[in-house]
């Protein structure tokens, strides 16, 4: 009955608990992710950052869309919402605006956030909705079997580009920057400590914060792109990455054979988030009404 994932294994005895066990729904282990996948390390960094910043677990909300990354919201022991494909950001916006004291996070994949949900991403940036959005970018549609993504590097192979990809990918930090995000960073899932620090920094800010996490998918991306071994993509990340804080986001496009620029690129001062603006407006309306009386 291996398809009955919810049955899982029995919880591990205490001495074998994962260091982040208090954040996990251990009864749901094992998870569905493949060996070499970067989703686990990303969530590890996120949970550690929540610990570091000292955010009450009961106030943490995790909203995800569809795809491999989308499944994460069901593995973490916080309020988890596994929504429809692409709609995690507006769903999270609804939660955040009603309960502004909650720490609302959207953690989802590149297909979810930048293809089907691309419009929601740029508009939430523009409005400065108070959300932390982490895009786990594996350059491919992993769960559906390796189809072309809006982030697949030029020339790469996928099941729907058997002769190579002719579409330039999105440079997602540039998109976030241009759309007005207050925090923009890029890391990879092998830079766990630096990623954790970046997430902690973002968690301490208000407004729309975006972190792209490049993540290996050996099974459905690496296999068709000469990165077949479980650690090939990790090696590519390690060997090609250059950390450049404050880099001009126009210059961080990912191209094969060129350095991968990582770092905390944008930190922008915007006094008020979308919710704060709404409340300010409410005050103005109320004062005007009282003035009339």
Contact footprint for another protein (CB under 8 A) = 3-6, 25, 28, 58-59, 61, 63, 66, 71, 73-74, 77-84, 86-87, 89-99, 101-102, 119-120, 123, 278, 281-282, 284-286, 289
Smallest gap from residue 99 Cβ to another protein (A): 4
Smallest gap from residue 94 Cβ to another protein (A): 3
Q: Compute CA 153 distance to the chain's CA centroid, rounded to the nearest angstrom.
A: 19
Smallest gap from residue 173 Cβ to another protein (A): 21
Q: Name which of 79 and 232 has its Cβ closer to another protein.
A: 79
Q: Name which of 63 and 252 has its Cβ closer to another protein.
A: 63
Q: Name which of 1 and 35 has its Cβ closer to another protein.
A: 1
Collect all residues with Cβ–Cβ distance below 8 Å to 8 and sequence separation of at least 6: 27, 28, 29, 30
Q: How many CB atoms lie within 10 A of CB 40?
A: 14
Q: How many CA atoms lie within 13 A of 162 on its CB side?
A: 1
Alpha-carbon gap, residue 181 to 210, rounded angstroms: 7
Q: Answer yes or no: are the C-beta atoms of 9 and 15 closer than 8 Å.
A: no
Beta strands in the chain (DSSP E): 60-64, 79-82, 103-109, 132-137, 183-188, 209-214, 241-243, 260-267
Smallest gap from residue 2 Cβ to another protein (A): 11
Alpha-carbon gap, residue 90 to 94, rounded angstroms: 6
Structure tokens at 51: 């610990």
Smallest gap from residue 132 Cβ to another protein (A): 15
Q: Name which of 5 and 53 has its Cβ closer to another protein.
A: 5
Smallest gap from residue 84 Cβ to another protein (A): 5
Smallest gap from residue 137 Cβ to another protein (A): 22
**Bridge partner residues of 16 (DSSP):** none
Pairing of strands 103-109, 183-188: unpaired
Q: Name which of 257 and 291 has its Cβ closer to another protein.
A: 291
Alpha-carbon gap, residue 247 to 131, rounded angstroms: 23
Pairing of strands 260-267, 209-214: unpaired
């Amino acid at each position: 009955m291996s398809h009955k994932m919810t049955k899982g294994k029995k919880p591990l005895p205490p001495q074998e608990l994962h260091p982040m066990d208090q954040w996990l729904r251990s009864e749901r282990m094992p998870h569905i992710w493949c060996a070499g996948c970067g989703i686990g390390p990303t969530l590890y960094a996120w949970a550690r950052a929540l610990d570091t910043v000292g955010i009450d677990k009961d106030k943490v909300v995790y909203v995800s869309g569809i795809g491999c990354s989308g499944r994460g919201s069901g593995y973490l022991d916080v309020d988890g919402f596994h929504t429809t494909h692409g709609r995690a950001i507006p769903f999270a916006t609804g939660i955040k605006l009603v309960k502004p004291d909650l720490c609302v996070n959207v953690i989802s994949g590149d297909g979810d956030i930048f293809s089907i949900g691309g419009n929601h991403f740029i508009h939430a940036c523009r409005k400065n909705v108070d959300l932390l959005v982490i895009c786990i970018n594996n350059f491919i549609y992993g769960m559906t079997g390796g189809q072309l993504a809006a982030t697949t590097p030029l020339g790469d192979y996928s099941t729907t580009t058997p002769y190579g990809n002719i579409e330039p990918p999105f440079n997602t930090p540039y998109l976030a920057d241009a759309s007005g995000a207050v925090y923009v960073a890029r890391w990879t899932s092998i830079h766990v400590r630096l990623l954790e620090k970046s997430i902690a920094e973002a968690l301490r800010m208000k407004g729309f914060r975006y972190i792209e996490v490049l993540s290996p998918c050996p099974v459905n991306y690496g296999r068709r792109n000469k990165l077949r071994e479980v650690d090939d993509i990790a090696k590519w990340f390690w060997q090609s990455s250059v950390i450049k804080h404050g880099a001009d986001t126009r210059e961080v496009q990912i191209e094969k054979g060129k350095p991968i620029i990582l770092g905390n690129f944008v930190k922008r001062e915007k006094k008020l988030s979308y919710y704060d603006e709404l409340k300010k407006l409410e005050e103005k309306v109320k004062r005007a009404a009282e003035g009339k009386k």
